[in-house]
Amino acid sequence: MDQPDEVLKKVAAEVSVCQRCQLSFSRKKAVPGEGPANAEVMFIGEGPGFYENEQGRPFVGAAGKFLDELLQRAGLKRETVFITNVVKCRPPGNRDPLPEELMACNDYLERQIQAINPLVIVTLGRYSMARFLPNVRISDVHGKARWLDGRMIVPMFHPAAALHQPSLKGAVVEDFSRLGGYIQQARQN
Ligand code: URA
C-alpha cells in the first residue's frame, strides 16, 4: 500500500494532466487540493473559480478569504486541514458542475478521502453535500453533524453563496462556530 502522502502526490499529478471530461479543455490550471496527508478535517467545495483556475490552488479568491475567517472561527488553522473540491477544474463562467463532470472526477476525490481517512468531512455547498447525503436539502441539514461510514459529516452552506446572500451569512458563521465542538466530539467518539 502506498503511503498517504504518496497517494495524494500521485492524484495531484494525474489531475494536473487529466482529460477525463470537457472541463479540461477550458481550464488553465487544475486544482487537486492541498493540505497535509494526516489532516483530521477535510473541506470539500464545489469547483475552482477564477482565481483558483489561475493559481492551481483551492479557495484563494473571495470565497477563500471568507473560508479563512470561518476556519478561524472554528479554531482551525488552514495549514492543518485538507481542502479540495468535487470537481478539480473550473466550470466555465463558474456554472454548476454537470453530472458527467462530477462522475468523471469522483475517483480522484475518493482516492483523496481513502488516503487521508479524515475523522471529519465538512461539505461546502449542495454538490459536495450530495456526494455524501444525496437525499437531503441543505436548508434542512446545514450545520448539523452526522456519522456516515465511520466519520463525521458536517454539511455547510457554500461560503460564496453566503457572501452573495446576506441571509445565509449569519447561518454559515453560526454553523462554523459549532464546528470546533463537533470535532472535539468526533475525537472522543
Ligand atoms: N469555490 C469552490 O467551491 N471551490 C474553490 O476552490 C473556490 C471557490
In angstroms, the CA 178 to CA 55 distance is: 31
Residue type, 163: L
Please indicate whether residue 156, judged by its CB atom, sits closer than 6 Å to ligand 1. Answer: no
List the CATH number of the domain containing 38: 3.40.470.10
- Choose which residue among 23, 34, 46 to substitute to test ligand 1 binding: the one with the highest number of ligand atoms within 8 A of its C-beta: 46
Residue 167: domain span: 4-188
Query: Is the C-beta atom of 46 inside 6 A of ligand 1?
Result: yes
Q: Does the beta carbon of 63 lie inside 6 Å of ligand 1?
A: yes
Cβ neighbours, 10 Å, residue 5: 13
Number of structural domains the chain divides into:
1
pLDDT tens for each residue of 91-131: 999 999 999 999 999 999 999 999 999 999 999 999 999 99
- The pLDDT tens digits for 5-32 are 999 999 999 999 999 999 999 999 999 9
Q: 34 CB less than 6 Å from ligand 1?
A: no
Residue 68 in grid coordinates: 479563512
pLDDT in tens, 130-179: 999 999 999 999 999 999 999 999 999 999 999 999 999 999 999 999 99
Model confidence pLDDT, tens digit, residues 68-85: 999 999 999 999 999 999
Judged against a pLDDT cut of 80, whether residue 1 lies above it is answered with no
47 C-alpha to ligand 1 centroid (Å): 5
Average pLDDT over the chain, rounded to an integer: 97
Question: Distance, CA 163 to ligand 1 centroid (Å)?
Answer: 13
